[in-house]
């Protein structure tokens, strides 16, 4: 990042692995933010798997990290994930459609506590993530 405040974060994210539109191997997640909840959808492909037919846990973690980051990004703010704790309730399967939601739970000083979830098409909770984030002013330290 530059030493000046970022005017538009969208200009800095084109190659982001999670949401960048120009990253040829990225997930290309498209987030929608209603002021409270950040949402996206994801259909994992064969190349997202670990075990046969099961989505790699690292891909799932990336999606959840992107979701909590986008709570800030969609407001042209920057926050870095300091901690991400994930509970895998059920495996995600290649070719199935999943819905991801994230929201801020509380803020304390410089820390923000966020939660993100992955649901299947029937609304079954598949994965839960709890994040601690530190908001940045967008300047180099």
Question: What are the structural domain ranges in the chain?
Answer: 9-136
28 torsion bin: left (phi>0), alpha (psi -120 to 50), beta (else): left
pLDDT band at residue 138 under the 50/70/90 scheme: low
Topology given in CATH for the domain delimited by 9-136: Thiol Ester Dehydrase; Chain A (3.10.129)
Sheet harboring 37-42: ordered strands across?
32-33, 37-42, 98-108, 111-119, 125-136, 78-88
- pTM for the model stands at 0.86
pLDDT of the residue at 7: 53
54-100 pLDDT tens trace: 999 999 999 999 999 999 988 888 899 999 999 999 999 999 999 99
pLDDT of the residue at 22: 86
pLDDT band at residue 20 under the 50/70/90 scheme: confident
Q: Find the mean pLDDT for residues 8-20.
A: 71
The tokens of 121 are what?
């098409």
Contact 102, 19 (CB under 8 A): no
């Amino acid at each position: 990042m530059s030493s000046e405040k970022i005017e538009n974060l969208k200009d800095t994210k084109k190659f982001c692995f999670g949401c960048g539109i120009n990253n040829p191997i990225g997930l290309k997640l498209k987030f929608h933010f209603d002021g409270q909840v950040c949402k996206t959808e994801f259909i994992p492909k064969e190349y997202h798997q670990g075990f046969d037919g099961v989505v790699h846990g690292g891909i799932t973690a990336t999606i959840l990290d992107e979701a909590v980051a986008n709570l800030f990004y969609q407001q042209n703010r920057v926050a870095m994930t300091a901690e991400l704790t994930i509970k895998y309730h059920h495996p995600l399967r290649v070719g199935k459609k999943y819905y991801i939601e994230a929201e801020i739970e509380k803020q304390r000083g410089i820390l923000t506590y966020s939660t993100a979830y992955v649901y299947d098409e029937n609304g079954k909770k598949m994965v839960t993530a709890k994040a601690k984030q530190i908001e940045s002013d967008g300047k180099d330290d």
